Amino acid sequence: MSRNWQKKSTISLLIGLLLFLVPAFVKSSYILHVFVLIYLAIIYTVSLRLVLANGLLSFGHGAFAGIGAYASALLMMKVGLPFLLSMIIAATLSALVGGLIAFPSLRVRGAYFVIFSWAFGEVFVIMYKRLKGIFGGASGLYGIPGPSLFGMTFTSKLAYFYLALALMLITVAVCYRIETSRFGMIIKAIGNSEDLAESVGINLPRYKVLNFSLACFFAGIAGTFLAHYTHFLSPEMFGIGLSESIVVFMLVGGGGNILGAIIGATILTAIPEILAFTSFYRMIVYGAILILTIIFLPGGLVSLPQLVRKRGAPGQAPPSRVT
């Protein structure tokens, strides 16, 4: 156990160091922008994995990012709070709203919760459009100030790159620690069988609400960064499109572990940007990857190495799919 932990820690540190050194080899602002988008996608997807571990599939995760984005932007623009404090308050607000929304999940499950989470997200999109005096309406919210930390104002793409990298690494580390802790084991037990978990004395409301709130907190963090990175917010940025993309990232990468969420978010965010010069053909490639993964890799892209090893093992039949 100790050796395995040390190995994972060493690999994680090396990956973090390599990511830290990316700007030393990449001078293009556009490529740094793509890395920022990837880091945001990872935060979204890794945090949604906490919800999936609870046996729930949410199509409203983008709404919690929107709560964090609008709250942080308004706190800086209207109240004059510093960026770090605004981010923490905004993410906490996302977590509190997430906790309130989690209560219906105690009774609503499966496809019904999917519909409920989607409807919840759409309610917020409508609210942002209708309350023009507060949220800017359909035209959006302009002039959002950039972040400032320790006396330094973020103006360059390089500064945003490192801030996004730091937020991503913290999110991954915390979510991984949650999943491997006793709390995470309880969450997985609830996801496997709520009735069995309750029969052994697990307090379902407490754990489900807290877990959902934690996931929404990190979604709010990502939304906060996005608001101050783009300096602009519109309701459509946090509609069903974003929530669907997050779910696809997770399922294509592999919802079984946190590495799959990272792989899915990275590849599916990078491909449309890399193939931007091909115009609409990039979406054909994007769709082909989704279809092929669903057909041949039901465990997600993260299961590809294991599948290759099994296929290459002499005298071993290929694994059959469970239908």
Each residue's pLDDT expressed in tens, for the chain with a length of 323 residues:
456 656 666 777 777 788 888 888 888 888 999 999 999 999 999 999 988 888 888 888 999 999 999 999 999 999 989 999 999 999 999 999 998 888 776 677 777 888 888 888 889 999 999 988 889 888 889 889 988 877 677 778 898 999 999 999 999 999 999 988 999 899 888 888 888 888 888 888 888 889 999 999 999 999 999 999 999 999 989 988 899 889 989 888 887 788 888 998 998 898 888 777 666 777 777 778 788 887 877 777 777 776 666 766 555 555 444 43
The CA distance from 301 to 279, in Å, is: 25
The CA distance from 288 to 31, in Å, is: 24
11 backbone dihedrals φ, ψ, rounded to 5° = -65, -40
Q: What is the 3-state composition of the chain as percent helix, strand, coil, each rounded to the nearest 5?
A: 80, 0, 20
Q: Tell how many helices (H) and how many strands (E) occur in the chain.
A: 15, 4
Give the three-state DSSP class for 133.
Answer: helix
Q: Are 91 and 217 in contact (CB under 8 A)?
A: yes
Give the three-state DSSP class for 192.
Answer: helix
Give the three-state DSSP class for 158.
Answer: helix
CB contact set of 284 (below 8 Å; sequence gap of 6+): none
114 backbone dihedrals φ, ψ, rounded to 5° = -60, -45
What residue type is assigned to position 215 of the chain? A
The CA distance from 201 to 231, in Å, is: 48
